[in-house]
Structure 1
């Protein structure tokens, strides 16, 4: 059983105006402190229950790495405390604890002992660690000749050789190649199914939303928001889109979800609808049906260049498909204040049965990081049902033509 309890956690470092200030503080304590406190984290409190998976997100400098070091005990807090129950395996800084002049095998023995494994236990697990890492003869070469991806392979393999009660993973997995990332996340999913508690730090929206039950966002060293992964990731994306000159609204929907709307407000989606082949508004469609996504945009100010994009997401918030009029080479120039523009995107809904949402973005280029006029999550929700096709699994209708040859 692995649990994490963080109570009123804070971390501050002393900052001295000059190098002599520190000496004066030591030699002349009666003159009072000569330093100021630089707070990295303040008033952080949350609990992670046994078997729960939580994603930790935040921009660079938000305090994520410091929080992980406090949780794992490599840094001591200034205020508050952390209580862990269960055996912990942590992958923080890449190759942390590896000696560059020792071989991968020797480093496995050192890292394994730091995780609480005995020498005999590491020896018994070594074939499994080598097999999972897949670095071949490099296991007996010095770590200094390893690429960052090879270091990550060995570090992850030894950290997860035995299923821990608590697994803490920082951004280290983003270094590896795509094949090993998939392999690593499959092992994480296996641990989750077996009851391991997971704390995952990542900027990868897909990873957070596909693996985690809940997400926590840090901003400026404080716990800014926590909740369902899709809701928190939408808020995070809206926040980083434009931290200046931008409004940010959270609207509660009737279905209990929270819609995030951000942007400068110079343009807005006035209406959005999904139309069937007869041009009628629909909320439920058949797998593969031909539909039209109709979006009406109203400009509130003159816009030199306007681009509309949309993203179809599944119920977990994972992207199914997205495009925009810049990628399609159909941007609009010189849009006037008060002008309304109707966009129609016609396509076959080759989606699996389930509930989907549409997010819209009104921007000036192919990204919302330049001019974010409006980003609207959950702009439209619709349901796909399978009425005419043979049963199939998955989120996409990719029906194959099958040829079988028997010699």
Structure 2
């Protein structure tokens, strides 16, 4: 079983003021250093238990890829230690370790040899590698003729041909077609069930929340947050929307969930409620009931353009339905401090049984990533029950009707 322990990890690169600084420092090692250290990772510590899956997220330049390179040994750490137990397979930069003039088959064989596999093991694995990659006759063509998606197919097939104790995957899986991405994540899930420890870097929220037990957020080379994948991804999404003078905060709700609130504050959410047709507040809703989502908004500073949006999520944080006033061509413009708005969104609660939450967004355009006035996860939490309709499975109630036509077939009688 694989186990990874990272303690006080740091990585710094030397930065010289001019092109001669490196030479002078090399010729006079006892003289005053001519460089400054540029830290890309500082004081990173975490542990992956055997069989655990951890996702790493962060903005570009946060140090995610460097961290994986240090863990796999392709880059040496400046400070700290990394301990790995078990056989490791890593899929880092696309095509890393492959030679463009060798064929796909030759590259696959060499990659397997570098992993310590014997000739007979490689021969036994090659049919499975070819079948999983699905690149056809290109397996015997030079790698330089491959598209980036084909390179990723081959690299992933080779890295996962033999189940490792520890699987480390960078953002290479974001390259290529949706079919192979689904196929790749399906194999990762199989490995997880078999006990493989997983460390993955991805911006795919669905992958983080469905595959990973825990998530780690890196910010400017430091460990910003680690914990429940949903809570970490909510905070990360709030950071993505961060702009000048914007705040990001989290607060613990009564049921233990962590709510993330971010925004510049020109407009703010005052209250969010769910009502039935009799204006009664709801926290438990019958399937199919017509409800009204009411959002009260206060304008604190002049706002040229305001878009309100809401997103219904299930208990795993997956988006069920979302819409905003930009897409409905109903933005509000030229708002002044002291004004108040009340949005009423009416819809049938055609959801499956379960617990749901609603996130509210106040922004300038279609996405809260552009001028986020306020983003609030878990603005309201409610439960859907079913006592009036036939029992069904799934997250959507389609009120399906089934008609059956039955007739007698004529059969020839052989005498």
TM-score using structure 1 length: 0.96
Counterpart position of 1:6: 6
1:186 Cα deviation after fit: 1.1
User: What pairs with 1:49-128 in structure 2 (closer than 5 Å)?
Assistant: 49-128=49-128
Counterparts of 1:22 and 1:71, CA distance in 2: 28
Q: CA–CA distance in 1 between the matches of 2:368 and 2:117? A: 48
RMSD after superposition: 1.6
Equivalence map 1:169-188=2 (5 Å): 169-188=169-188
Aligned to 2:152: 152
Aligned to 2:168: 168
Q: Give, in angstroms, the shift of residue 404 of structure 1.
A: 6.6
With over 3 angstroms needed to count, the CA separation of the structure-2 counterparts of 1:135 and 1:230, relative to structure 1, is same
**Does 357-366 or 239-248 show the bigger shift?**
239-248
2:356 and 2:232 map into 1 onto residues whose CA distance is 18
Larger radius of gyration: 2
Shift of 1:292: 1.5
What's the counterpart of residue 349 of structure 1?
349
Tell me, yes or no, if the aligned pair for 1:210 and 1:318 is still in contact at 8 Å.
Answer: no
Structure-to-structure mapping, 1:217-236, within 5 angstroms: 217-236=217-236
Matched, 1:215 2:207: no
CA distance in 1, matches of 2:32, 2:335: 63
The 5-angstrom pairing of residues 352-363 of structure 1 reads 352-363=352-363
Aligned length: 407
5 Å-filtered alignment, 1:190-209, equals: 190-209=190-209
Inter-partner Cα distance in structure 2 for 1:23 and 1:103 = 40
Worse-superposed segment, 265-274 or 277-286:
277-286
Q: Deviations over 1:266-290 (max 9, x none)?
A: 1111111111232211111122322
Q: Indicate if the aligned counterparts of 2:89 and 2:164 stay in contact, CA closer than 8 A.
A: yes
Q: Is the 8 A contact 2:243 2:371 kept in 1?
A: no
- The CA distance in 2 between the partners of 1:227 and 1:353, in whole Å, is 27
Structure 1: give runs of 5+ residues left out of the alignment. Answer: none
Mapped to 1, the partners of 2:211 and 2:195 lie a distance apart of 13
The separation in 1 between residues aligned to 2:399 and 2:106, in whole angstroms, is 50
Equivalent in the alignment of 2:241: 241
CA distance in 1, matches of 2:251, 2:229: 16
Q: TM-score, normalised by structure 2?
A: 0.94
Q: Deviations over 1:336-360 (max 9, x none)?
A: 2111111111112222222111111
Do 2:152 and 2:172's aligned partners in 1 also have CA atoms closer than 8 Å? yes
